[in-house]
Structure 1
Amino acid sequence: MPMPTQPDLSSLSLADIARLAEEHKLPPVDKWNPEHCGDSGMRIASDGTWHHEGSPITRTEMVRLFSTILRREEDGSYVLVTPVEKLDIAVEDAPFVAVEMKAEGAGEAMKLAFRLNTGDLLTAGPDHALRFAAGEDGPRPYLHVRGGLEALVGRSVYYELAEIALANGGTPAGVWSNGAFFALEPAA
């Protein structure tokens, strides 16, 4: 069955994005605790590309499906989990990449919505916090997705965030979304 095409983010209001995100139900992976079965032979590269036994997974539908059963363990490792099995998966950086952003409003009333490389939509705020880590090539922004899973904010999207932060003119430079403020500097 073909997956529905993704709506154009720029054509959606933030209310539309919130509704679509709410409609996207995920399996209760946090409630599944099967025995560990081994390694999946899968890896998520730092650019968000999923691989199986060294080859990229090119079917978008498969990546979306696997992303719904991804869980981060208490020790920081990642697993693919179903009610009957749990398999390790290697993640080079973050399992998702925020590839597109839409901003509405200004100042403290601003809301920032993101599309992930898996097609998932979410709005930054208290439940989906932005954080900034120090990296060799400058700040590395991340967006909390769910259950300890994060999305690396793509470079072009980061530049959009930085432009908004500079326009806000505050110290420290940062952005507002859904009533939460996120400073664009790595936490100490």
Structure 2
Amino acid sequence: MDLTRFQQQLKGTSSKTRPLPPVEKWDPDFCGDINLTIALDGRWFYEGSPIGRASLVQLFASVLKREGDSYFLVTPVEKVGITVEDTPFLVTQWEKTTDQKTGSEVYQFTTQTGDEIKLESAHQLELRVPPKAIQDQQATPIPYICVRRNLWARLHQNVYYQLLENASEQQNDALTSFYITSNRQRFVLGEVQK
């Protein structure tokens, strides 16, 4: 399987003006693994070389599927396995917006592939211990955000620190929690034992 043929199969399935392809409905035959890796830093590599075209990375990201702990690129006729070192997405930007209907503040995140996520419900954010290569000595859990269809993003370190600067604190006898409020809900970014 080469990426050129895979790209040809995807022509017309996704663009900025069209919704994402319905990969959750596609169940093609597994065609084997390809040497494509999404690195810890969010870069995509094919055969050890970075994929430099952002539009190509966005196209492949639009047909990414997760089954259990495995990741695949899928078309209506083929499914190929890829390697993901942590998560397929990395949140590189954030902003606070105001919801036009409710008037409440909502945090909006953007990934390295241009996906935008509004933080609106509790299931969208969870604290996880990151891979050993990027964790601190205490293996402190950090925030991960659900992008779509069981595909998650880790916050880039700069984004995480910026959010912590904007966070509120809540203390109890055992720990201090740092949280942000989005869509009138609290989202814990981290906890420190006293």
Q: Which of the five TM-score ranges fits, normalised by the shorter chain? A: 0.7 to 0.9
Question: What is the deviation of 1:110?
Answer: 2.7
Per the alignment, residue 179 of structure 1 pairs with: 184
Count of aligned positions: 160
Q: What secondary structure does 1:64 align onto?
A: helix
Q: Distance in 2 between matches of 1:58 and 1:128?
A: 33
Bigger Cα Rg: 2
State the identity %: 41
Question: What is the deviation of 1:58?
Answer: 0.6
Please give the TM-score of this superposition, normalised by the length of structure 1. Answer: 0.78
Per the alignment, residue 169 of structure 2 pairs with: 169
Gap regions ≥5 residues in structure 2: 1-15, 172-176
Please give the TM-score of this superposition, normalised by the length of structure 2. Answer: 0.75
The structure with the greater share of residues assigned to strand is: 2
Per the alignment, residue 48 of structure 2 pairs with: 54
CA deviation profile, 1:115-146 (whole Å, cap 9, x unmatched): 11001212112177122223432443211001
- Specify the code of the residue in structure 2 equivalent to 1:163: E
Question: What is the deviation of 1:178?
Answer: 2.0
Question: What is the deviation of 1:88?
Answer: 0.2
In the TM superposition, 1:31-42 aligns within 5 A as: 31-42=25-36
- Which has the higher relative contact order, 1 or 2, with Cα contacts under 8 A spaced 6 or more apart? 1
CA RMSD across the alignment: 2.1
Q: What secondary structure does 1:48 align onto?
A: coil
Per the alignment, residue 149 of structure 2 pairs with: 147
1:44–1:50 CA contact under 8 A, matched in 2: yes
Provide closer, same or farther for how the CA distance between residues 90 and 25 of structure 1 changes in structure 2, counting only shifts above 3 A: same
Q: Distance in 2 between matches of 1:66 and 1:87?
A: 11
Gap regions ≥5 residues in structure 1: 1-21
Per the alignment, residue 100 of structure 1 pairs with: 93
